[in-house]
Amino acid sequence: VKLADLSTPALLIDADSLEHNLATMAAVLPGSRLRPHVKAHKCTSLASAQRAHGHRAFTCATPREVIGMVAAGLGDDLLLANEVLDPQRLAAMAALQDRAVITIAVDSHETIDAAALAGLKYALVDVNVGLPRCGCKPSDAGHLADYARSRGLVVRGVMGYEGHLMAVPDRTEQRAKVAESVEKLIVASLLVGGDIISAGGTGTYDLHDQVTEIQAGSYALMDTHYGGRGHPFQQACFVLATVISSNSEYAVGDAGLKTQGMDHGNPSIEGATVRFLSDEHVTFVPSAQIAVGERVRLIPAHIDPTMAMHEVAWLIRGDDVIDRWPIDLRNW
Amino acid sequence: VKLADLSTPALLIDADSLEHNLATMAAVLPGSRLRPHVKAHKCTSLASAQRAHGHRAFTCATPREVIGMVAAGLGDDLLLANEVLDPQRLAAMAALQDRAVITIAVDSHETIDAAALAGLKYALVDVNVGLPRCGCKPSDAGHLADYARSRGLVVRGVMGYEGHLMAVPDRTEQRAKVAESVEKLIVASLLVGGDIISAGGTGTYDLHDQVTEIQAGSYALMDTHYGGRGHPFQQACFVLATVISSNSEYAVGDAGLKTQGMDHGNPSIEGATVRFLSDEHVTFVPSAQIAVGERVRLIPAHIDPTMAMHEVAWLIRGDDVIDRWPIDLRNW
């Protein structure tokens, strides 16, 4: 199959750029130093490629991701880096523990009770390191660990996500802020015990020397939010559009805001200016008039929600489509 | 099934508000005066409810919507209000013409050629009435209609979408601008011939007296973009979230930016201030501290992409879940 044969809109993954990104990250953070976050791609085929680069432990954001990873034979060591209260979904994960190691984040008595009641075995204490989201105060982490152990859970350590620091433009300032943030996690780790100190993301993957593992995900496919910041990763994901209307002022492609995450703003098109997106259209100004039927590639502004909007990604090399990867971990 | 039994995030449709919206619109634009746009909900169950209110003709934005509507027995008169060049998808639609009437928008020789080659029978000439997107110049519409007829297509009339005028705050100014926009469509209609003059949307549904039909879609479920503008439609769609973390400053719900369209900004929560959304989380400030395990409803800022992100919607009345509606027209 050739790229030209694909119906549009189509989600493309450039095989060589993906391979470059996976190899580059595995060289810096080999094996268990990286716990790739599957929420960034929601695709077990891509997770298998990450495993082929030596990473056997993965991070998930939803029960469905955990369950899908186990079904794909990728359940060696799964961290659900999120709080869950739903008894049905917790039970569904607990039922998989004969063939997978599943560890869940907890940050309250309620989340500990829910995990213990469902029969989950392993937990990490989720610590707030500055991002106003989930996670307990560092000073509460020890008590929560004690409580979790009293409920029968094995507490493997701590996690924290410095999401508010991913895009600090100045690297020296970013490094200092990450260190300050990690200090909170280290304190919590001393109170909690266990082997794991899990943190980080694509924006800070190379700024950590005290944690045991990094949870990066976006590095594999990238987006315009993480691009252009000097990271050694290439843009590997695109949304292919066909020009369905064109005139002397602008052109219209058939990939709209239902094809990509818009929370970080508009996607980009090389050599063109994107004016706006509608549900099913992108209106853009090309550098020279473009013919109806030509194709353009949109570079997503935010990779995670973009992947979640597609049923399938097409793995390409040059003009060839070399594989079809279902986005099998989407939905809830 | 009770609302409390649903796993979250969950897409909810309030049955009574939906019914109110459908009845209110059908009173103003009965029968064929409204051609409901299914891109706003992507759900044949909801389209069936619209048909029960007397509307037998529908508007679609993608071939998949057209094909799904025919499969659901809703193919009496389907307008694909968008340009398509893909020979496979055009052929798939043409193959359904023994049991459906399918009309496609065209705005160029290329789109006419593609429709004719695939064996589609009916077309509308898409006219640009001010929104920089698809559509020909009004003065080109007659020539395009002649060309389409020379290629064997039956040209049923014209369509245009004044999408740039949906949110003009002042109604008098909006009315004047819509009239100016429609004037372009009327001119094109005189040049093209045919019975159909199709235009409009939820923001302008009551400002048209010259077109034969209105393409409104958002009115059925609504969002914060169309809400608060004085339209007589109620908010009927919500994303249900469970509070998974809470402290004295803020709370975190388990519905993030993968659960709703973010192009119009953050969703709203009644009685709370939404701070930001992450992939799987909403961080918000409630009016009083809220307990872990409590539930909140997010009101989407943009209904169309929100629907496209879910597999299923739950029809509710009070605390009861009364039906499960698959979002069966999503993807491409």
How confident is the model over A280-314, as pLDDT tens digits?
999 999 999 999 999 999 999 999 999 999 999 99
Question: Over the range A264-273, which residues count as b (16 or more CB within 10 Å of their CB) and which as e?
Answer: bebbbbeebe
Q: What is the pLDDT of residue B100?
A: 98
B residues 297-326 closer than 8 Å to A (CB): 304-305, 308-311
pLDDT band at residue B110 using 50, 70 and 90 as cut-offs: very high
CB count within 10 Å of CB A77 equals 20
Interface of B with A in 4-33 (CB under 8 A): 7-9
Residue A77: its pLDDT value, please?
98
From chain A, the residues in CB contact with B141 under 8 A are none
Specify which residues B273 forms β-bridges with. B285
Q: Is A262 on the interface with B (CB under 8 A)?
A: yes
pLDDT for A212 equals 98
Which residues of B are less than 8 Å from A261 in CB distance? 257-258, 262
Tell me the mean pLDDT in the region B267-276.
Answer: 98
Residue numbers of A between 170 and 199 with CB closer than 8 Å to B: none
The percent of residues above 70 in pLDDT, for chain A, comes to 100
ipTM of the modeled complex: 0.97
Q: What is the pLDDT of residue B4?
A: 95
Interface mutation vs chain A, best among B67, B90, B133, most A CBs within 10 Å: B133
Give the closest-approach CA distance of B308 to chain A in angstroms. Answer: 7
The pLDDT of residue B122 is 98
Q: CB–CB of A279 and B135 under 8 A?
A: no
The predicted structure's pLDDT at residue A9: 98
Helices (H) and strands (E) in chain B, counts: 8, 15
> In the predicted model, what is the mean pLDDT of residues B133-156?
98
- What's the pLDDT band for A50 if we cut at 50, 70, 90? very high
Distance CA B53, CA B58 (A): 13
Name A176's Cβ contacts closer than 8 Å, sequence gap at least 6: none
pLDDT of residue B264: 97
Residue contact A110–B292, C-beta within 8 A: yes
The confidence score (pLDDT) of residue B144 equals: 98
Chain A residue numbers touching B83 (CB-CB < 8 A): 244-245, 252, 254
B332/A7 Cβ within 8 A? yes
Q: What is the mean pLDDT of residues A224-229?
A: 93
Q: What rounded mean pLDDT belongs to chain A?
A: 97
Measured between CB atoms, does B248 come within 8 Å of chain A?
no
Measured distance between the N- and C-terminal CA atoms of chain B, rounded to whole angstroms? 32
pLDDT band of residue B196 (cuts 50, 70, 90) is: very high
Q: Judging by DSSP bridges, how do beta strands B295-298 and B282-286 pair with one another?
A: unpaired
- Which is nearest to A21 in space by CA: A217, A215, A214? A217
Q: What is the DSSP letter of B220?
A: G
Q: What is the pLDDT of residue A71?
A: 98
Q: Are B198 and B211 in contact (CB under 8 A)?
A: yes
Contacts of A83 in chain B (CB under 8 A): 244-245, 252, 254
pLDDT at residue A79, as a whole number: 98
> Residue A98 — pLDDT band, cuts 50, 70, 90?
very high
Q: Per the structure block, which two tokens stand in for A106? A: 């907890």
Asked if residues B145 and B114 have their Cβ atoms less than 8 Å apart, the reply is: no
> Is B92 at the interface with chain A, CB within 8 A?
no
| Structure tokens given for A54 | 């030596």
User: Mean pLDDT of all residues in chain B?
Assistant: 97
CB-based contact, B227 to chain A, within 8 Å: no
- A25-47 average pLDDT score: 98
**pTM of the predicted protein model:** 0.97
Classify B142 as helix, strand or coil.
helix
pLDDT score for B323: 98
d(CA A203, CA A217): 10
Cβ <8 Å between A252 and B133: yes
pLDDT at B197: 98
Q: What's residue A168's pLDDT?
A: 93
Binary contact (A132, B86; C-beta < 8 A) = no
